[in-house]
Amino acid sequence: MSAASQPPTASELNEAPLVARLQAGDAASYEQVVRQQGGRLLVVARQILGSEDDALDALQDGLLTAFKAIGRFEGKAKLSTWLHRIIVNAALMRLRSRRRRRERPIDDLLPTFLSDGHQARPTPTWNQSALAGIQQQETQQMVRAAIDKLPEDYRLVLLLRDIQELDTAGTAELLGISEGNVKVRLHRARQALKTLLEPMFGETLP
C-alpha cells in the first residue's frame, strides 16, 4: 500500500464473493479471514504496542470491530487494506489508554545551528558497514531498539510511513492530525533516529 501506486480495490481483486459470504454470516469465511490475515495484522499491532498481550487484545478487538462493520464494507479498498486500518485504530486506542512513558524531548536529537545557519556540529561520516549489515538480525534489532527510543508521536509516524508504508494522507487520517503535521513529524523522527544510530555507525572524526 505505497503512496506511489493505487492499491487495487476489493472488486478489482474479485474479493466480492468472499465479502458476500462474510456479509451473509458464513462462519467458514470468517475463519478463512482470521487465519489468512491474522498473522500479518498481529505483526502490525505488535509493532505499535510492543507488548505481546496488548497486541493480541488489539487484534481481537479490531477483528471483532471489523466483523461487526462488514455490512458497510463496499469494496472500494482491498479487504486487507480495510482490515489493516481497523487494526491500527484498535492498537492506537489501546496505546492511548496506557500511561505515557517518560520520553526524551525530540529537540535533544535534532541538529543545531549557528546564528549564520551553518550546522553547529560536524556530521560524522557513517562507515561502510552501516548498510552492509542491513539484512542481519543484529543490525535490525539495533535499529528497532533505537526506533523504540523515539517519543511516541514521532515513533508512530515513522512506523506508519516508513515501515508499514502508508501514504501521508492515510497516516494523517489514522492519527487524527494534518498531512503537514505528518510530514514534519516524519522528518524530525528520521533526523532523531539518525542521531540515535550515529554511535553505532558513525566514524569518530579526528
Partner 1 sequence: MMLHFTCQEALDYLTDYLDGQLPAGELARLDEHLAVCPQCVDYLNNLRATVELTRHACAQDSALAQIPEELVQAILQAREREFPKP
Residue among 156, 153, 180, 154 nearest 169 (CA): 180
Closer to partner 1 by Cβ: residue 93 or 131: 131
Does the footprint of partner 1 cover residue 129 (CB under 8 A)? no
Does the footprint of partner 1 cover residue 58 (CB under 8 A)? no
Residue among 57, 53, 79, 77 nearest 66 (CA): 79
The position carrying cell 492515510 is: 170
Q: How many CA atoms lie within 13 A of 77 on its CB side?
A: 13
Closer to partner 1 by Cβ: residue 12 or 169: 169
* Residues in region 9-48 near partner 1 by CB under 8 A: 24-25, 27, 30-31, 34-35, 38-40, 42-43, 46-47
Does the footprint of partner 1 cover residue 76 (CB under 8 A)? no
Does the footprint of partner 1 cover residue 156 (CB under 8 A)? no
DSSP letter for each residue of 103-114: ---GGGGS--B-
Q: How far is the CB of 197 from partner 1 (least distance, A)?
A: 6
CA distances from 204 to 139, 154, 181, 190 (A): 19, 28, 34, 21
Rg of the chain over Cα atoms, rounded to whole angstroms, equals 20
77: helix, strand or coil? coil
Which residues contribute to the site for partner 1 (CB under 8 A)? 24-25, 27, 30-31, 34-35, 38-40, 42-43, 46-47, 56, 59-60, 63-64, 67-68, 111, 113, 116-119, 122-126, 130-131, 134-135, 137, 139-140, 143-144, 147, 158, 162-163, 183, 186-187, 190-191, 193-194, 197-198, 201-202
